[in-house]
Amino acid sequence: MANPEPAPPVSAPRRTEAYAPGSIGNVGPGLDILGLAVTGAGDTVVAERIEGGHIVVIDPGHPELPNDPTRHASALAAAAVLRRIGQASVGIGLRLRKGLPLSGGQGGSAASAVAGAGAVNALFDSPLTPMELIEVALEAESAVAGRHADNVAPSVLGGLVLIRSMDPLEVIRLPIPEALYLVLAHPHMELRTAEGRAALPTQVPMAIVLHQAAQVAALVAGAVTGDVRLMGRALDDRLAEPARTPLLPGFAAAKAAALRAGALGCSISGSGPTAFALAEDRATAERIAGAMAAAYAAHGLASDTRIAQPDLHGLRVSTA
């Protein structure tokens, strides 16, 4: 009756592919606690079983990303899935297609982790729930970018996600108006998450504490009730944005240009350098994108701009 090494289920796929969208972390005043998945760019991981009992990064997705599985977000997340499901000795090969910029502030490391976790989970017929996938991707994110869930959670769940608590982890997926346009402007410079984080104060004056809490609450209220203009007013971050603006040449000018062009609000995506602006319609979003690119150019910075909407799906997995 002993069956020490069960065969994989007949239905288990040999090769899976998972797409995880990029996201705006630290949405405005929502430092570490509010994230929004957005359409248009994300990371894709193809996973397959291989011989040898190890995780191998066959394609790291970018020349600057390591092949070392202990330093690659997708591989770290894959290893965390295997540990969680008790399959740590299975060999897995990973190929990443990197759709998001490195150190761009668009949730790239989180998307790599989520796609890695999702693809490997699917190889075993998806035993892990979305909440468990957030937990394992968070383990990987912690190793490469710091322990915050405001990119990982929306990348898994889609939409706007509030992190109420880290210990224990509680995330709340919020309704959000679909007719919401986001302009992402990525100036060609890199800013490591650690650098953006080191700029933050350790103690905060009470008036700012109350202001920030009121803005995060107003942003959530605007999202849930469909009041996009309220969301724009609530993007009034007086904590991280003032601390990080000096690290981000051109940001202040790009924000001013966005607001003049009709943005409802504008702030830093993640810890930057990407800036994002909120718009009510696509035509205004296009004007804003042009204005932000021109402002960065005036500061000697080339930039990519794109127009996105909330990604309401999050992680998508397919098997072959």
Residues 232-251 that bind its own copies (CB under 8 A): 233-234, 239
User: Is there binding between residue 201 and its own copies (CB under 8 A)?
Assistant: yes
- Beta-bridge partners for 275: 185, 268
User: Is there binding between residue 225 and its own copies (CB under 8 A)?
Assistant: yes
Among the listed ranges 179-187, 201-209, 260-268, 277-285, the one in contact with its own copies (CB under 8 A) is 201-209
CB of 283 to its own copies, least distance (A): 28
Among the listed ranges 1-9, 124-132, 203-211, 279-287, the one in contact with its own copies (CB under 8 A) is 203-211
The answer to whether 38 and 22 are in contact (CB under 8 A) is yes
User: Is there binding between residue 170 and its own copies (CB under 8 A)?
Assistant: yes
The answer to whether 281 and 181 are in contact (CB under 8 A) is yes
CB of 234 to its own copies, least distance (A): 7
Q: Candidates 29, 105, 130, 310: give the one binding its own copies (CB under 8 A).
A: 29
The answer for residues whose C-beta is within 8 angstroms of residue 3's C-beta and 6 or more apart is none
| Cα separation, 107 vs 84, whole angstroms | 24
Q: What does the DSSP 8-state code read for residue 6?
A: P
| Paired tokens of 160 | 């706007």
Among the listed ranges 217-225, 262-270, 271-279, 296-304, the one in contact with its own copies (CB under 8 A) is 217-225
- What is the enclosing helix (H) or strand (E) of 23? strand 15-24
- Beta-bridge partners for 97: 44
Query: Which is closer to its own copies, CB of 90 or CB of 219?
Result: 219
Beta strand residue intervals within 25-136, DSSP E: 34-50, 55-59, 91-97
| Cα separation, 147 vs 269, whole angstroms | 17
User: Is there binding between residue 20 and its own copies (CB under 8 A)?
Assistant: no
Q: Candidates 21, 30, 116, 154: give the one binding its own copies (CB under 8 A).
A: 30
Q: What does the DSSP 8-state code read for residue 247?
A: G
Query: Which is closer to its own copies, CB of 126 or CB of 142?
Result: 142
Q: Candidates 18, 20, 24, 33: give the one binding its own copies (CB under 8 A).
A: 33
Place of tokens 């990443």: 96
DSSP string over 123-150: HTT--S-HHHHHHHHHHHHHHHH-S--T
CB of 159 to its own copies, least distance (A): 13
User: Is there binding between residue 134 and its own copies (CB under 8 A)?
Assistant: no
The answer for residues whose C-beta is within 8 angstroms of residue 205's C-beta and 6 or more apart is none
The answer to whether 215 and 234 are in contact (CB under 8 A) is yes
Q: What does the DSSP 8-state code read for residue 289?
A: H
User: Is there binding between residue 212 and its own copies (CB under 8 A)?
Assistant: yes
Q: Candidates 18, 20, 34, 94: give the one binding its own copies (CB under 8 A).
A: 34
Query: Which is closer to its own copies, CB of 195 or CB of 286?
Result: 195
CB of 126 to its own copies, least distance (A): 27
Query: Which is closer to its own copies, CB of 55 or CB of 239?
Result: 239
Q: Measuring CA to CA, which residue among 146, 59, 81 is closest to residue 109?
A: 146
Query: Which is closer to its own copies, CB of 3 or CB of 202?
Result: 202
User: Is there binding between residue 205 and its own copies (CB under 8 A)?
Assistant: yes
Instruction: Enumerate binding residues for its own copies (CB under 8 A).
Output: 29-34, 162-165, 170, 172, 174-175, 200-206, 208-210, 212-221, 224-225, 230, 233-234, 239
